[in-house]
Amino acid sequence: MIKKLDILLIRSFAGPFLAWFFLTLFVLVMQFFWLYMDELLGKGLAISLILELLLYMSTTLVPLALPLAVLLSTIMTFGNMGENFELVAIKSSGISLNRFMRPLLVTIVALSFGAFLFNNHVIPVANLKALSMLYDLRNSKPTLNIRAGQFNNDIPNFSIRVGSKDKDGKTIRNITIYDHLNSYGNDKVVVAEKGQMLPSRDGRLLVFRLFNGWRYEEGMNGQEHTQVRMHFRQWDKVFDLSSFRINNTDQNLFSGDQKMMTLGQLQEQIDTLRKTNSQTAHSARGYLASYLYPLSSPQADSIFRKYLTQAARQTPVSYKENFAERLPDSLRSGLVQTALGNMRNAQQLVDMTAVNERADKDRMIRFQVEWHRKFTMAAACILLFLIGAPMGAIIRKGGLGMPMLASIVLFLIWYILTFVGEKLVTSGSLPPWLGMWGSTILLTPLALFIIRKARNDSPLFQKESYLRIWNALRSRFVRRTSIPA
């Protein structure tokens, strides 16, 4: 049954956990934003688009923020209880540390199971939407910004120069427009004294309403070069701004990436690649059969081996020269060229098969890494809790000092081990299961060691204990050196 002490512990943990989770997630999202800020700003993107992108990216960063939040909040919770002597009172009442950690451990296990479901069902969709949207925003053109005294070539096939712009932002003066639609140079020019820039309601069109100007057009009429000049009092030039709109790329183009797949889809891809690799050797044998006679068929192979066996039993024939030199000149050159061609084609086929097999192997490794990641990121919450809870009980310090320092160091150790393991897997140095679970395997003994020390109230992080050891060693060393020879 749930005791009041269990409820107290869960309540003490819930507040710091939620605070650290959202703070960590915010820091990670800001890191992403600063990384791509130069490519996103200055394009006139709507605030809603940027917020939508940050929402998707924050969803993809949850698996990284969750273990850190668990570690920070756990150390802080048990550190505060140790600093306020609540742990001493609980242990003096006969409740062991293992029993005291049990309700929070059950909560973390449930949280890890929820994290696994989140990684398997929500993260692939968020990755698909985030990466496709980021691709569209990064490849979108900046907004049209016509500056006074400068030529602007943002609109395809047009070069526009405005002498000056009024303060209203619409009225322009001394306009020159070069039309390059025919790709014949500056054969069409529009000059006007004054005008207005009037965008359409949907933003797809931009209308230049020009006043008191001239249109110049040059061309060929048969063998004669013609030039037409037309004066106008008012004339509307319409520009298409569809190239400045954000293209919605088909998300199916990104769905083949391993980060966009669920556990079942990853397993299906892995099984398909394994089946393909098992058939590679058989397919290569069939392709090489046209160049190597013994591989043509099992029957031909057996006949060829039988012939070689019979020939080996007979008295071998010795030649003073090689076999090719005994052939007539009319056959020798064709035979050599045919043999060299067959060997060259066979080598190219083997090289191509090896390249394809290596590519399939790399794809399988990526799928296996992502398959294991679904579990390792959820298991990291349990592992870091088993490290953080006894660590906080030993430190017996609350606040943002020692708990935060210990949390950052432990998280960096876990993250570096995970990162190095993944790199070793992708390079082919380690199998996927060992590389992805290596950090858990290496840190589990550390967790058991810290739990044991916390149960025995070991002064592991108290400097006084280390000073006593140092003083004892120094006094012993001084005593030995003072003994006369």
The span from the CA of 15 to the CA of 105, in Å, is: 16
How confident is residue 117, by pLDDT bands cut at 50, 70 and 90?
Answer: very high
Q: What is the pLDDT of residue 485?
A: 47
How confident is residue 30, by pLDDT bands cut at 50, 70 and 90?
Answer: confident
The span from the CA of 258 to the CA of 254, in Å, is: 9
Each domain of the chain, given as residue ranges in start order, spans 4-140+372-473, 151-244, 268-368
Q: 15: how many CB neighbours lie within 10 A of its CB?
A: 12
To the nearest 10°, report the CA torsion of 84, 89, 95, 99: -10
More confident residue, 253 or 155: 155
How many helices and strands, by DSSP H and E, does the chain display? 12, 6
The span from the CA of 196 to the CA of 214, in Å, is: 16
User: What global pTM score does this model have?
Assistant: 0.67
The answer to which of 2-6, 148-152, 191-195, 466-470 has the lowest mean pLDDT is 466-470
User: Among 193, 371, 170, which residue's Cα sits nearest to residue 265?
Assistant: 371
Q: What is the pLDDT of residue 2?
A: 54
How confident is residue 245, by pLDDT bands cut at 50, 70 and 90?
Answer: low
User: Among 154, 188, 150, which residue's Cα sits nearest to residue 172?
Assistant: 150
- pLDDT per position as a tens digit, 402-446: 777 878 888 889 989 999 998 999 888 889 899 899 999 999 998
Place of tokens 């110049």: 216
- pLDDT per position as a tens digit, 155-185: 778 888 888 888 877 888 888 988 887 767 6
* Phi and psi torsions of 130, nearest 5°: -65, -45
Q: Which residues pair with 239 in a beta bridge?
A: 206
Count of positions (residues) in the chain: 485
Q: What is the pLDDT of residue 57?
A: 87
Q: Which residues pair with 232 in a beta bridge?
A: 213
* Phi and psi torsions of 360, nearest 5°: -65, -35
- Strands ordered across the beta sheet of 205-221: 151-152, 158-165, 171-179, 188-199, 205-221, 224-240
Q: Where are the beta strands (DSSP E) in 39-79?
A: none
More confident residue, 37 or 268: 268
**Cα Rg of the chain, angstroms:** 38
**What is the full DSSP assignment across 360-397?**
HHHHHHHHHHHHHHHHHHHHHHHHHHHHHHHHHHHH--
